[in-house]
Amino acid sequence: FQRMKLDITLLRYLEKEDFRVLSAIEQGMRNHEMVPTTLIASISKIRHGGTKKALVTVHKDKLVWHDSQHYDGYRLTSLGYDFLAIKALSARDAIVAVGRRIGVGKESDVFLAMDGQGEEVILKVHRLGRTSFRSIKNNRDYLEGRHRAGWLYISRLAALKEFAFMKALHQAGFPVPTPLDWNRHCVVMSLTKAHLLANVREMKNPEKVYNRCLNLIVRLAEYGLIHCDFNEFNLMISDDEEITLIDFPQMVSTSHPNAEMYFDRDAQCIRTFFFRRFGFEGDVPKLQTDTEKKFNLDLIVAASGFSKEDRAEFDSIAEEDLIRMRGSEVSKNLSGDESEEDESEDSQDEEDLQVENQVEEISKEESEEWKKLSENLKRRSKPKKIQEEPDPQEISQVENQVENQDESLVEDDSQLENDSQVENEEEGDEIKEKIRKQVRKQIDKKNKSGKRNTNKSKFKRAHKTLMKEIM
């Protein structure tokens, strides 16, 4: 993660095409480590070859990094990502000017800015991935199960999480800055006129401030949250000794497996600081004995450690409450509608009588239909009449007639056979004569040609086979 100075003066010289190219590179970095030039041109959709010109401009201003070893590709730098976020915030009048840097941390830079109404606000730019704190992937759960991600994307997740926590705590009445807007890795919040507790050397009532700090830790636990970094660098104190809490991305739920350890660590940090700086030593609360969860703010902001079991238990409790509310509403309706029920009973009795009469009519019709069906079945089930046996004289007469017919048929068959034999013999003689004529013609042709028949044996064999087939 390259650390670059935020020079906001460059923003006024960038054109519309330059920001289109930067946003195209940002979209391409979702699935590309280095975005090819062809992809940048297709996403930005700049006409007449303006993509190359814009790439030259943003590369000259160090808003992108160019790599041409493997292929022609680009990626955003932290400064280019800053310009995209500031441009979006300025379009919504969340900020119109950026001033000096008033704070630097291992995870972010804090700038003084001005909104559209001319009031001073705070611009917090998350810059995760610095060499001083590269174990962020192990110490934070921003990735939520993902194995790989760029530092720009992790910075965006951290800013989103802080804005969500700040908004929920502000709505619950906690002493936190007022969240104003958010875009990418930048968060805009109200300016708190106070000082860091770490820079305070003297205090009028250290015991009072100490109790306020510990009460704030306990109150967070009652809402289901633990700060996990509750120390003098994340607390601000005003001239009236009022406490303001900042820096929220690392907060976890009281359902976290290490919740008790984180709670004790926050309390011990405050106790150690007040003892070393102001010589005051007070009691330390315990998570199990001194706190009682009353609200589910960890569910609203999806804090780390809020498991699926806790969500299921919360849903079951919510369902029980809904059932109770509905039961009370039903009982009220029943008590208020008793008179209406008395009036409706008479009408219901009349309707019941009508229904009973209709049922009786239907039953009568069905009984008549069943009778008809039973009669039809009885008719079909009656046995057929047995035919009377014929007389023996009639049988003998029929048999004699059949024998006479058989004899006449036999005589007819014998006559047909004799006729067919005579016809076959006549046809056979005719065929033999035709074959003989053909053979003679062939012999005459050969004799006329003057050629001797050298294959007399073959001719005789063919003649014999023909004669055998005919016979």
Residues labelled as active-site residues: 229
Q: Where are the alpha helices (DSSP H) in 242-307?
A: 259-278, 287-290, 297-300
Tokens of 338: 């008793």
Tokens of 54: 């814009």
Which amino acid, one-letter code, is at 170?
A: H
> Which residues 6+ apart lie within 8 Å of 2 measured at CB?
77, 78
Lay out the sheet containing 73-76: strands in order across: 35-36, 73-76, 64-67
d(CA 133, CA 77): 19
Would you list the DSSP string of 405-419?
HHHHHHHHHHHHHHH
CA angle 254/256/260 to nearest 5° reads 65
Burial state string for 355-365 with b = 16 or more CB within 10 A and e = fewer than 16: eeeeeeeeeee
CB atoms under 10 Å from CB of 101, counted, come to 14
Tokens of 410: 């036999």
In this structure, is the dihedral angle defined by the CA atoms of residues 128, 129, 131 and 133, taken in order, positive or negative? positive
Element (DSSP H or E) covering residue 328: helix 308-336
C-alpha distances out from residue 329 to 92, 295, 323, 361, Å? 46, 25, 10, 43
Spatial CA neighbour of 37 closest among 62, 7, 59: 59
In this structure, is the dihedral angle defined by the CA atoms of residues 276, 280, 283 and 286, taken in order, positive or negative? negative
d(CA 256, CA 305): 4
The SS3 call for residue 155 is helix
Burial state string for 216-241 with b = 16 or more CB within 10 A and e = fewer than 16: bbbbbbebbbbbbbbbbbbbbbeeee
d(CA 441, CA 118): 134
